[in-house]
Structure 1
């Protein structure tokens, strides 16, 4: 995997911004958030509301580039101090807690928890004014977070056309949109039975236009998984790690890992018989300009085989190809 700190002479290896490049933007975010949120003011009914220091900053923020597309991935939390001045010499203060500011949540849907340092009728009145007038200002300022992250950091992960001059050029691949628009895995409406019945095996061979390391990391790193799965992703490249995708409709555990070559895990759909897990083995075979993913899934309930195979194509493989341009989607 390429890193944003690599020197410019390696540009020929990233023709048309083909490979995945990423940059940790937390240092930038820690400066940006206070710069746009500190000092906001609003006067309402002779009450002066104002924001103060930003504290308790935590989380992750990355900018990724693949096939010329810049993608921001972030999940951060922080507190904003607030103060209300009224009746000439009276002051009430407190905090606005932002527990989760994520890339897949619109700013106007941001959850803000407003607290006061004292408990009184006046404090509650000021708290209500903060919720009504200061919180919308904060949401408005954060609406440009992704755009501003790209503007400030995009040049570090994206090679411009001028920088590409003199290097070999490749044909720009334009993938079709993913076949599945919904990030929820298809499932049965009935409560899962405890009866397993006959079992079957699925084998699939799928080509991706990327390196083995790109595909390995895309399958296992939570930041990338939440992009192609279009939702929260519990997964990490560690043996023993629990897996939960598509709103908990897919779950399992990582059993074995060989970096850039092999992934073995247990795997089940929520609609399967209770406590029944299949075993998935993924082997990655790097070719000259692509990588072949060879999947073997054993102990799949016979009645679930077709649906399971369809879901691998629709939600995993097409999701990855559509999100990162790793080849044409299949059906």
Structure 2
């Protein structure tokens, strides 16, 4: 079997008169029910909220009934999901130490509805502890809806990987998209893959983020094993030299250091495990000092079009937010030791 980028363009025959379902062009369907149940459990169990008076956490996925699927029809993806979910939660009132339990019921989770409109019902067993119920109804509901949004995003991105293979028109088209995010500035442009035969449509992402730290500290986050393991919350392998390999997030992200300019610039070959075989993006990180902060400029070129949303999520949630968290912890620890 040929690898991506090395195929014969004659394989792409979506317009065949005999209607043969080449490259899943006319139709294909994938049952996402089992995988969805696992994803919902992963995203919902452990969700925690806290305020000055109390704290609560979702402890168990007691019921998840329904189904989900991903389909394609003549090159267009169609999604279906319908879930009835029941969760148990447990909370504690800090001053008294009293603990209370309750349930969260979500009667209808569907890709057809806005996540913010999803009904989330919170109940508590008899007795005191209304302060815990109120916490779950407000902050808890918001976090549950956020988790459901992440599930629906996964349904439409990682669950559909490989369902539609490149077509002649898709491989040659140019795509230009500009978007603005609330915290990051993001520009997306289609790149022109240089390959023979079947081409992989790719995009380039440009993201900028400010960090309350020095260029030295920010550089170390991507080159010091202990810090990488802290923000990724998983084992890592780093060979910090030109041509050295790296693995992060339990091997889900792998690559190679192509250029290292201390405290200024890092260039990496980068791939996610579920990308087409042997396909790498190029990630360039530039650290620019500003007044009291460091601006990280991240340029990612060669990201498969179908992985655009996953790549943005990876950098915004699994990198930027987690890095800021460990930076805050390191600053607090330093101040404590100096005090």
Q: Structure 2-normalised TM-score? A: 0.42
Q: Structure 1-normalised TM-score? A: 0.43
Q: Relative contact order (alpha carbons < 8 A, sep ≥ 6): 1 or 2 greater?
A: 1
